[in-house]
């Protein structure tokens, strides 16, 4: 990893921490969407 500045490392660390949250949020969004479509279908 030549030429990585501290900023690059911080960015990578932030992405590492944010990724699971984004995935969880997306899953929650999918669940909400599915619930809404389920309610609309019934």
What's the rounded Cα separation, in Å, for the pair 27 and 34?
10
What's the rounded Cα separation, in Å, for the pair 4 and 35?
44
pLDDT higher for 25 or 33?
33
Over residues 1-8, mean pLDDT: 73
Quick check: 42 pLDDT over 80?
no
What pLDDT shows up at residue 2?
63
What pLDDT shows up at residue 23?
73
What pLDDT shows up at residue 13?
78
Whole-model pTM? 0.37
pLDDT digits (tens, 9 = 90+) for 10-31: 887 777 776 676 677 778 888 8
Backbone phi, psi, residue 2, to 5°: -85, 140
């Amino acid at each position: 990893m030549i030429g990585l500045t501290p900023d690059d490392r911080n960015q990578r660390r932030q992405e590492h921490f944010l990724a699971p949250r984004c995935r969880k949020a997306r899953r929650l969004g999918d669940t909400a969407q599915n619930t809404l479509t389920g309610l609309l279908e019934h």
